[in-house]
Homo-oligomer: A and B are copies of this chain.
Amino acid sequence: MISAMTQRIRPLLLVLFLAMVSNSVVVCTSRHQYWRPSDGPEGASYCLSWRLAVEANNVRAWRTVPTQCLRHVESYMIGGQYDRDINFIIDHVISYLDGVDLSNDGLDAWILDVDDTCISNLIYYKGKRFGCDPYDPDGFKTWALRGGCPAIPGVLRLFNKLISDGFKVFLVTGRDESTFGQATLDNLQNQGFIGYQRLILRSAAYKGQSAVVYKSEIREQLEEEGYRIWGNVGDQWSDLQGNCTGNRTFKLPNPLYFVP
């Protein structure tokens, strides 16, 4: 009986199936569809504006992600677009690299930031409501001392390309040297960042300085040593501003926190 009915309605089922499929496509490709996390379209628009303003360095010195953007930032970070944005930029860096004319004097340098550039704190920030919770120095210390930050795959790909091209790669981080020195070395090693020239952490001399001032001074010292800084990649504008910023700078996305 069921089989006979199925036979009879097969053409109808096909039409309905096609309607179902095409409807989904029409609904989801219509012009005004924005990415809609659970805060609804209006909230999503606000959070799109907020995130763009953060990435273009219009919004500065922000302490936490706006609570209404929790789901937006979560979706962005773990839904695939963050990874795609990173890979897009890294592909672009690699195109730039192809046009760089290296000398053989061993002084062609490249600078990479560490946190959320080479290695990711996303797992930690999942537990901090994707940046909606205020900065927790003790919590971060416990996390970072474990040395378990995973590599950001796109940046590891760039790192390996830089090393094989013959660049001297300097990893420059605002992490405190005495507290995080060994854990950071171990973490970079266990994630495959091998062959860099120097890992530079914040020594006592730079304690309390802003990242812009501290990192500018480090880059100035490298230039005084004779290095030519061809490129500089970081997730914070403070990695990329100040003096001796490098021939090209590249800003990776980070909607989770702000470092002055």
Contacts and interface: CB of A to CB of B under 8 A. Distances in A.
A104 interface: no
Contacts of A23: 20, 24
A29 B12 CA distance: 28
A28 B43 CA distance: 13
A34 interface: yes
A50 B24 CA distance: 26
Contacts of A57: 249, 251
A56 interface: yes
Contacts of A56: 55-56, 251, 253
A32 B253 contact: no
Contact of A81 (B5, B48, B53, B59): B48
B55 A52 contact: yes
Given A12-B9, A81-B45, A88-B53, A28 B20 contact: no
B31 A38 contact: yes
A176 interface: no
Interface in A20-48: 20, 23-24, 27-29, 31-38, 40-41, 45-46, 48
The SS class assigned to the A binding surface is helix
A-side interface size class: 35 or more
A8 interface: yes
Question: Can you tell how many copies of this chain the complex includes?
Answer: 2
B32 A84 contact: no
Contacts of A253: 52, 56
A27 B28 contact: yes
A168 to B, nearest CB: 23
A45 to B, nearest CB: 5
Contacts of A8: 5
Given A28-B33, A29-B36, A85-B53, A58 B250 contact: yes
The 10 closest A-B pairs by CB, nearest first: A49-B88, A20-B20, A34-B35, A56-B251, A32-B79, A55-B56, A49-B85, A24-B27, A16-B16, A31-B75
Given A27-B27, A32-B79, A32-B80, 6 more contacts: A16-B20, A35-B35, A49-B85, A52-B88, A55-B55, A58-B250
10 contacts: A9-B12, A13-B16, A23-B24, A31-B75, A32-B79, A45-B81, A48-B85, A52-B88, A57-B249, A58-B89
